[in-house]
Amino acid sequence: MNYVFLADGFEEIEALTVVDILRRADLPCTTVSVAEDGSEYVRGSHNITVRADTDLDKITLDNVSSLILPGGMPGTANLMKTPALNDLLLKANAENIRLAAICAAPSILAELNLLDNINSTCYPTSEDKLKKAGAIISHAEVVTDGNITTSRGMGTAIAFALELVRLLIDEQTAKELESKIVYRQ
């Protein structure tokens, strides 16, 4: 299972592009509400409301392939201030489960001290947070180092999602999907 965590203020394209691409690749993908009020409905940073598939208290690491964090503000801040999510991320990292974060969300991994000496990328205004945590900053669209995949922002969401397909399935499947969606053709 692949989980995409949604807190109020999440960046809609970063979240839903990943969900769409993973599901097109027949990868199980579940959206998870991290709404403070416990609601299954989560409002994005551009006032698009999404009904999440489940909520955080139902998530375990059994049969998990990846935990995915979209950026956006205040979505990233709302994810970061959720202790249960932080604990889940730390446990997943200890079990070498793929952690993927885009835009400002890599700063969550930095805050949890998971990016020390890790090649990473993020939204430009988040770079200082990553540097302070010891990350090796890249300006590539998507960077994978070990079990951690990071990406720059909304404009790199498709590349980010295709990288996850490549990592979770294989290169051929990612290339076929890239062609089907007419990505960079």
How high is the mean pLDDT of the chain?
97
Span 44-63, pLDDT tens digits: 999 999 999 999 999 999 99
**What pLDDT band is residue 154 in, cutting at 50, 70 and 90?**
very high
Average pLDDT over residues 166-184: 97
Any long-range contacts for 142-148 (C-beta under 8 Å, 24+ apart)?
143/119, 145/118, 145/119, 145/120, 146/96, 146/118, 147/93, 147/96, 147/97, 147/98, 147/99, 148/93, 148/98, 148/99, 148/100, 148/101, 148/109, 148/114, 148/115, 148/118, 148/120
Look at the alpha carbons of 162, 163, 166, 168 in this order and tell me if their dihedral is positive or negative.
negative
Size of the chain in residues: 185
Q: Are strands 2-6 and 29-33 parallel, antiparallel or unpaired?
A: parallel
How far is the C-alpha of 88 from the C-alpha of 42, rounded, in Å? 20
Amino acid at 16: L
CATH code reported for the domain at 2-180: 3.40.50.880
Average pLDDT over residues 160-184: 98
**What pLDDT band is residue 36 in, cutting at 50, 70 and 90?**
confident
Amino acid at 170: D
User: Can you give the pLDDT at residue 165?
Assistant: 99
3-state DSSP assignment of residue 115: coil
**What pLDDT band is residue 146 in, cutting at 50, 70 and 90?**
very high
User: CA-CA distances (angstroms) from residue 171 to 76, 80, 164, 165, 167?
Assistant: 30, 32, 10, 8, 8
Average pLDDT over residues 6-35: 98
User: Can you give the pLDDT at residue 129?
Assistant: 97
**What pLDDT band is residue 37 in, cutting at 50, 70 and 90?**
confident
**What pLDDT band is residue 134 in, cutting at 50, 70 and 90?**
very high
